[in-house]
Structure 1
Amino acid sequence: MSETLPANNDHHLRVIEALYAGHHGWLYATLKKKLGNAMDAADLAQDTFTRILASQVTAIDQPRAYLSCVAKGILINWYQRKALERAYLEALAHLPAQEVPSPELRFLVLETLHEIDAMLDTLPAPVKRAFLLSQIGGLKYDDIAQQLDVSLITVKRYMKQAFVQCLMLVE
C-alpha cells in the first residue's frame, strides 16, 4: 500500500486520516502488547500519529513499517523518560520528609531533567560522556581525558560544546 502526501493540505489531512483509520488499531494493539498497559499504548499511538501529522513526509510506501519506525523512536524516548523519572523519585525517597519538594516543584524539576536529557542526546557520544563524567561523576578534566583516552584539549573542547548546548537550552 502506497500513500502519497501532496502539498495540498486538505488532501494531506485526508491521507493522514486514512492512515489513522486503517492502522491505528494495529499500532495500538502492537504497543499494548509490548507495554502491557492500555493507557500508555493509547498515548504513544496518538503521539505517533501526531508526529506524522506534523512531519513533512511526502509518501508512505509501507504504512505499518513507517508507523513502527516512528513509534519505536517515541517508545525509546518514553522509556528514557520513565527511567529518568524513576531515578529522580528514588533520589527523593532518600530525602528527609522536610526536604522533599512540593509536587509543583517536582514537576518543574522533572520537566527540566527531560529537557536536559533531550539536549544531551543531541551531543556526539564522547561529548555527552565527558559532560556527564564532569557534571555527574565529578571528575576533573585530566581524569576525563585519561578515561576517554583523549587529550586535555579535546576534553576542554567537548566541555565547551556541551556548555554551549546548555546555554542554548536556557535561552
Structure 2
Amino acid sequence: MTERTCVGAIAGAFGVKGEVRLKSFCADPLAIADYAPLYTEDGKRAFDLTDLRAIKGGIGAYLSGVETKEEADALKGVSLWVDRDMLPHLPDDEFYHADLIGLTVVDTGGAVLGSVRAVQNYGAGDFLEITTAGESQPLLLPFTMAVVPTVDLTAGRIVADPPEDV
C-alpha cells in the first residue's frame, strides 16, 4: 500500500456551482494543487483541482467529479491525502508533522517524557502534544529550537528541554 500524507481538508461548499472551500495544510496554501491527484483517506476517490483562488477562510477550488453545491456539501470534513513520494524533500531542520507523530520524547537527561500524539498550532507557532504515562492531560511543548533541540527521525526520538513551568 502507498504511504500517504494529509495535505488538506474540504470545509464545505462555496457558492452554488460545485466549488468547495479547502483548508490547505501546505506551507504555501495554493501549492496543494501541485500534489494532485488528491485522495480521500480510504483512497476510494481521487480529485484534481482547478481554478484555485484565495478566499476568506481558505481556498476556493473546483474538484474533478464535483459539479453541484449538494455534491460539494456532502464532502464537508473529508481529508485530502497525497502519495508521500509526491512531497518535496525538506531541509534537515524542517519536518512533516506526520513524521513526528509517534516519536518518543526524552528530556536532556534521557528520561522518557512520552510520545508525540499531534502537532498543534494555535496561532503562535507549533506545539508538540505529548502523551505521558499516567497523565490524563497531554503535555504541550513549544516546537522551538530552545525547547526541542534534537529531532532524530532515524532513531525515532526527540530530545526536549521543557521549560520549568511545564
Answer yes or no: same fold by TM over 0.5: no
TM bucket (normalised to shorter chain) is: under 0.3
Give the alignment's TM-score, normalised by structure 2. Answer: 0.26
Whose helix fraction is larger, Structure 1's or Structure 2's? 1
